[in-house]
Each structure stands twice: as structure tokens, then as C-alpha cells.
Chains A and B, each alone.
Chain A
């Protein structure tokens, strides 16, 4: 963007009265302060809006109950997909946390559409803060909200019967954060071009549902019909869910076949977790760049 040191004003202002006051001396707001401002304001709003938080947890809890209980017999011991002494409910649990993060991240971007509708976006866009700071601040605020949702979902672990370890939880949260930032940036890239709430909701549901259902968040990636297996490998969220699940399970003594069921395979090749994470990171940085570009556009 423009840079104060690289350019000089078109008109010299040495003789003008304003040059004598502090008015013409402008401090550039540091990048991270700009990011903080955007983040802080969103979080301030979020803490005032409990309904939104509860709303974002309702669906994952419903899925956990309906799918978890309903499909446990189908996938459970004896079905051959999961090893004995493990349940589908346990397997699904990290996926439901991922789902919470996914939905909260993406829909947090709705704030931008609200801000456009109610005018505050102009206050943001006319401020002398770089648009990249706006995008990063928004992505981090969306991710923060999503992480709060994800952490709250952890309280269901004992009920579901998932064994947790401190290391596993921390690893999982770090991986979820990457997912949350990427998905928030994705939401921002879409939301910053949207002019109406309805438009955003329609587009988002249209994109989010396949992203969620093809990601392996709700079922093991093993034993799928070929066409569906192929589709799941094209869903970026797949590569975020697998490490999340593996990190949660591998640190608390689950059997190897159970953990293997969570990993992404292409043919007989099992993708290393670092590759999964790399894929998500690259996609995340790309959509963040896209979001910045969208915010930089002027009418």
C-alpha cells in the first residue's frame, strides 16, 4: 500500500497554519495495533451476544446426539471399520468439535455483512489502517470465537467417553486454530463482496454443507464408495479434520487401527500429518490473500 516515506505531498504545506499544529503530523498505526483494534471490537460485540455463541453450539450438539447414537451400531464394533472396544461416538467426537469450529468461523464473517448493512464497515474502511490488517484482525476474531465454541464442546468428552490427555488437547487446539483462521478468512473473502444477509447465508450454506459432509468429520474415511472417497479427498476440510482427530487420539492410548481410520489415504498411501497441515496452511494463506484483495477493492 502507500508508504509515507516513499512519497511526498503534492502541495507543500510549510506555510499553512495547520502545519504549525499537530494536525499535519500523522503517526502511522503499527500493523499489529490495527489488527488488535479490529479483533478487539469484534470480541467486544461477541461477549455481549451470548445467543450467538449458544446458537453456534446447538447444531453440533444435535449432530453428536443424533448421528452419534443413531450410527453407532452401523459403524461400531463388528462393522469392521472401527476396532473392538471403541465406539463411533468416540470417533466422531473430534469431528464434531471440528464442525463447531467450521460453522462458527465461517458464520463469524457474517459480521462484515452486518457492518456493511449498518454502516460501521465504512468507519473501518475510511480509517487509515491497512486492509490487510482488517482481514487479519477479522480472521483472528472469527477464529477466536470458533475456538471458544470448540473448547466448550470439549466438556462433552467424558459424556461421550473420549479419553483426553493434556498433550492431545493442546495439539488438537493448535491444529483447530489453523483450521479456524483459514475458514474465517474464507468467510471474509466471500462476505466482503456480499451486499445482503440473505445472499451471504444462501451462498455459505451452499458451500459449507458439502465442505462439512465430505470432510470425514462425521464418519471414517475408510470403506466409502469410490466416488465419495474421491470427493472427500477434494474437500480441503478433510485435511484439517484428520490431524485434529489423530492428535486427540494418539496421545491417550487408543489402538492403532482406530487412529489409522482417521487418516487420509490416497490409494494405499497414507498422507503424513505434516502434509495434511501443510495443505491446510497453504489454502489458508491463499484465501487470506483473497480476502485482503477483496477488501482493497473500491467501488
Chain B
């Protein structure tokens, strides 16, 4: 599972208390998981030697069960290129006009990860406030560029969003304050470059923005860099106007008055060199298929089952949750997602022995942990036309079942799922948690995006999630095999049904526009596997603000700072507008009791 949106980590404490009769037939899932999660595979980081070893194992297993390479292909692996990391290769800025000052230290200037690499000569500068443009559709007029001419100029903008605006306004502005979104707005107004500074009234005031992990292969069409307050102060100082210092300029904008504007900086020019070095790597999806055995020509003759087989390597990608002492160790990823990989192989092996009315694709994705890169690359260049796929069934983290609970996600993608799941569960007997939302942080999202009816199986998060301690000995194989039985029954029914499932588009609950990212740290660990009204906590981070506020596992947050929390998205937006160090009232349910506490968010870099 790709680490979900924003909050650090998940934890679940309960041990398995549910004993199940041993499976009748010896299953190979344990062999698969143990092999894939072994030290030799080094955490299966996309593009690494470990990934190659893992893919070699999967290929040998595909051959063993009789799966074939895709028509017209010699082998099973399908390469895709991605950016494994980026660093600044020596960006600098020189101020001209009334000044002559050059900054080339990383503490003063650094390209943003999505910047184009450019050399820009002496160019006029415009201060464009927070650089936020709210689309008309939002019914809230806010356009930092409304009165400014920035064509062919460099714009300087403040990081984040107006700090003193009222909560509701902030909630709207925060959605359009993402750096990429600001860069896009600047580009659309004709600017040559965008320089971002964190104002003195904001978190991380005056500091350079760290280079974020970005898997895009190329820049976003504009030069974009972060500058320190020292650089910004030099520029604003050149204006010689006490009303136009950086501090004063921010103060004038901070109540989000839509009529407060930026201004041209006639006495300053900028010469800019941006250099982002993107380290390209090649990842490998592995795909085979079981040809249909029945001579029928059903519409949409393909069904896909898949799982990502990559994991975090030694934790170099940044989504590792390893404790300090374990940093750099092999992240075994037994549950995430050797378990899902094993499930696909096991379902494939089961179906290989049965008559099939449709072809069964067995699909193993790489690059999932870096942002669903492998499955995205696949749906952008599918080996089988996507409109020929009846359905896609995904497995991500299915090895840690507790108390018979199985989540089936993305069921809203087709009306057939509820019926198929209900029928198969009579024999399987899981305590099902049904989630209709197909916008899940795993490869099922790529197929939903491609209008393929899809579902995902998930047994929930645990203390070892994204840590080196996610090892093969902790996997619950008996229940993993039950998931295999259950999924095989569902795939068989979809595969043999004369009519392919209908696709239903589910509206995304959240706005697709960028966000400023969560700036503050609350130490809450949301439970993503259960749909409740409010935000259910699967734990709190020791010593964090949530723990200090007395919140605990099982609590359901229903209101923060006067904002109702119905789901994770509400929670995200509510967090964005809280102030670091300022207590916020939290209303939550503990059992049937409604309680209230005060939580003081800390800063996140």
C-alpha cells in the first residue's frame, strides 16, 4: 500500500484471536511470502537489484503454473522509466537593478523538485502575494494575479496561504496553495519563473523548502525555486519603502482581503539558474496470462488480478516509518505486499486448473510505493485494451487478518460487486468491511481512473506497517488462504459471466486541486479500513499532541475547531487551517460517550 495521503503511520494493536481450521490443501502462499520478504530481495525497491530478483521469482512461478507471456511478447516483464529521486544541481539567483548580490548556497536558494532547468537573464520582478488563484467554480473570488501584469517576468510569492483569514476562507484557499498549483497559476499568467518564500508570519518562516520526492519524469514548464528570507529581504529592501517590507507585505495580505494585491518591484531584477538533477531508473511490471479454455467469445474477454510486489528497499524513498535504530535496514514488506503478490499467484494457480471463459491477466506492479507508478504506466500503455477488460481485482496487504475482518474496497466501481461479494461470503464467512470509495492509495485507483470495474482486498494496518519489522513470520497464512479462496470464487464468477460488469463512476470526495500539504503535526493515526462517520483513530503517536490531549485508539473525532469531521478529507482540511501552538477544541466519541479535549498542534517541516 502506498502510504496514504498525509498522516504518519498506522498502528493496530490487537493480536489475532481468531483461530481457523487449517486449510485442506497445502498452499504455497507461505513459500511466496517467505521468498519475497527474505533479506536477499532487499525490500524490493522499484528499479533495484532486489526488484529484479523478486520479478525473476514471480516469472518462474508464472511459468510453473502455466501462465503465458502476453500475446506478441517474448517475456513477462514490462519496463517503465521513472524518477527515483531529485536533487539540486547548483541553482543560484543574482539580484540586479539597484542591487548586485548573488546567492548560491542551498540555505538561500534551491530549485523545487518540479522546476524546469533554465537560465534566465536579467528579468523584472513582481510580488504576487500568496500566488493563489481560486477557480470561479468555487464561488469565492480570490486571484492574486487579478491586477498584476507578470508576463515574461519573475514572480515572487509567499508560501502557504493568508495566515489570519477566517477559518472558512482558509479552508478554501488551502486547497489552491499547493506549490505545484501556484507554479501552474504563475505559468498560466505568462511568468518566466516563480520564487517562493515562507513569510515571517508563517510556519518554517524564511526557510528553504526541502526538495520533495517527485516521480515526474520532467519539469512542469516553469522555473521554480524556493528562496530564503535573506534573499527576499534583499529584494524587498531595495524598494526602500517601509510599507513594502516582506513582513509588511505579508501582513497586508494575511486577512485574505481579496482586494489586497501584490505589486511590481521596479528596482529589482533577477537572473536565475535552476538545476534539478533527476535520477532516472527503470522499474518492471510483471504480467502473464491464463488463456481462456472455453471456446466462447464473450464481450470484454479479459479479467485482471494484480498486486504490487515492490516495497521500500532499505527505506530510501521517504515513506519508511522505521524507528531511528532500524533506519536503513531491509524493509521486508511481507504484508505490504508480498502477501498480495502471493495471493495473485495462488488465485492464478487455482484458476489455471479450471475451465475459463475469459483470459485471466496476472499482473504484478512495481513502483506502487513511489506513487502507483507501475500501474499508471500500464494503464497509459495497456497491453490489452482497457475497454476489453471485464474487471480488475487487486490485493494490497492481505496477510494480517485480525478477528476475521476483511476490507473490500472500491466496490462502488460496479453494481455487480455487492452481489458477487455477498454470494462468495456465504462460504468464506468474513466479517466484511465494505468501502465503496475507489480512490484508494493503491493500484486499484489506476484502474478505476481507467473506467475498469475494480475491487481491492485489504486486511488492515498494523504496527509493522512500512517498517523493517513487516516480516514473513508475522503473516497469518491461514486467513491469507481464505482470502485467496474468496477472491478466486469472485474472479471465477466474473470471468464466466456472459455479461461483463458495468462500470460506475464514483465522485471523488475530495477536491482534485493541490493542497499546501499538512503543515502541522497532531500525532493521530487514522484508521482507513473502516467507514465510520467521523475520524476513527487506530492509534496515536507516543508523546505527540494527540496523546497529550488524551486521545487514544478507538476514539472517533467528530469535530475540530468548530468544523464537523465526517471523513478523512474533512479532517485534512480542518488540519490545514489550525494554527501551530494554538489549542484547538476537539470533540470525539469514546464508545457512546461524547467527550471534549484540547489539542495543540506542533509544527511539521
Tell whether A and B belong to one assembly.
no
Residues of B within 8 A of A (CB): none
